A = this chain, B = another copy of it.
Amino acid sequence: MIEYRNLKVALLGAGNVGAQVASLLLEHSAELAERVGAGLELIGIAVRDLDAERTADLPRELLTTDTESLILNADIVIELLGGLEPAREYILQALNSGADVITGNKALLATHGPELFEAAEQVGAQLYYEAAVAGAIPIIRPLHDSLAGDRVRRILGIVNGTTNFILDRMHTTGATLQEALATATELGFAEADPTADIDGYDAAQKAAILASLAFHTVVPLDAVHREGITGITLEQVEAARHAGYVIKLLAICERLVDAQGNEGVSARVHPALVPQDHPLAAVHGGKNAVFIEADAAGDLMFYGAGAGGLETASAVLGDLVSAARRHVIGGPGIAESRHAILPILPMASITTRYQITLAVPDQPGVLAAIAELFLEHGVSVETLVQSVRAQQDGSTPTATLVIGTHEASEASLAATVSSLAESPVVETVSSVLRVEGL
């Protein structure tokens, strides 16, 4: 039996993920020591309440409420508290005492990332965060390392399992949004208050982190355009299927050039139509996937469990092995690369394709008037499908128009939609959806 030097690991938080990390760390300590070349000694688990109920049996003697002393004694600190404070304060303490830090705290990174990475760089420590985006799926490391010699053009991510479960269920069972949400809550896919998920806040945090990493540029959370799924109707889902699409809530990070020729980046979260033969369309249930388009590598996709205590613990342990190996080797950490500092372009400057559904009176001249209106705003129509619903009461029948556009700017599209809404030949603008993945 080889004797290893021990690295001291402190765990902050014993929630769903934290408890699994502690269990795996204690259970696999011999195997991990062999992989690292040093022992990983869990010296303590900081909790708020020593007597709270836990999802796993943790040795009572490891629990402590003295977080600050625990941090001071550790070589590596794992922060799984969630929330902004005191997590931020503890991470800064750990970094300043020279410890490497592993966190799964997406809210914190999306909000205070630059401050934390700066603190790590100043002392030559490293901040790992694989668990913060897409749970078990290795996505931070591929972006940070594997694609470090390439140039990422675009990321399309299904990064929220709850909304993917809901949309997938609407598609596969014909459930309404409310019914699908109820099922998600019942099965534990949605939290009691699902706002952070269904309004896209969770996905927006992940988009900010992914865009910052992929484009070597700080993309703050409030620069991420955000729309949730609450407006999505079963009618839209069915119309999408009929037209060869599925509706997915996407986190989209793009490097693009605006109409004035400025290169910049954009990050946004919104529901979008995805072609049925796109790899993202095959991501079902609560699964996550991140689709990356890079200049040299072409299209890549990373698929797996985006949440779950055990699954996310796998990502934390991967980071722990990396941090521990770095301690064994020595040397400073690799700073987050922020050299590009590309401007963040406003939502108005992104371009994509759109699908617009209108209710119009079925009478002569309507189509021509609508075509004219698109033309005025410089939005080019690619497809137009009209279906007529007979009226029972003898009034003018209503037609449904589904219009697919060529690539157009968000600004032109917004102007077109607002003109359509005011036009006398349009009864209702029933649906406006972006089309992605073409």
Give the complex CA separation of A147 and B311 in angstroms. 11
Q: Which residues of B contact A148 (CB under 8 A)?
A: 35, 317-318, 321-322
Give the complex CA separation of A141 and B142 in angstroms. 8
Q: Which residues of B contact A329 (CB under 8 A)?
A: 331-332, 334
Q: Which residues of B contact A334 (CB under 8 A)?
A: 325, 329
Find the B residue at minimum CB distance from A2.
Answer: B339
The listed residue with most B CB atoms (<10 A of its CB), out of A35, A150, A330, A332, is A150
Segment of A51-59, A238-246, A301-309, A429-437 in the binding face: A301-309
B150 touches A146 (CB 8 A): no
Count the copies: 2
B137 touches A318 (CB 8 A): no
Say which residue of B146, B282, B296, B308 sits within 8 Å of A279 (CB atoms). B282
Say which residue of B20, B300, B332 sits within 8 Å of A136 (CB atoms). B300
A138 touches B146 (CB 8 A): yes
Find the B residue at minimum CB distance from A321.
Answer: B148
> Which residues 248-302 in A have Cβ within 8 Å of B in the complex?
277, 279, 282, 284, 294-302
A318 touches B147 (CB 8 A): yes
Secondary structure of the A side of the interface? mixed
Find the B residue at minimum CB distance from A143.
Answer: B138
Give the complex CA separation of A62 and B340 in angstroms. 29
Say which residue of B146, B279, B299, B316 sits within 8 Å of A305 (CB atoms). B299
Encode contact with B along A318-348: 1 for CB under 8 Å, 0 otherwise.
Answer: 1111100100011110100101100000000
Find the B residue at minimum CB distance from A33.
Answer: B339
B146 touches A318 (CB 8 A): yes
Find the B residue at minimum CB distance from A303.
Answer: B301
Report A's interface with B, CB cutoff 8 A.
20, 24, 28, 31-32, 34-35, 130, 136-138, 141-142, 145-151, 216, 277, 279, 282, 284, 294-305, 308, 310-311, 313-322, 325, 329-332, 334, 337, 339-340
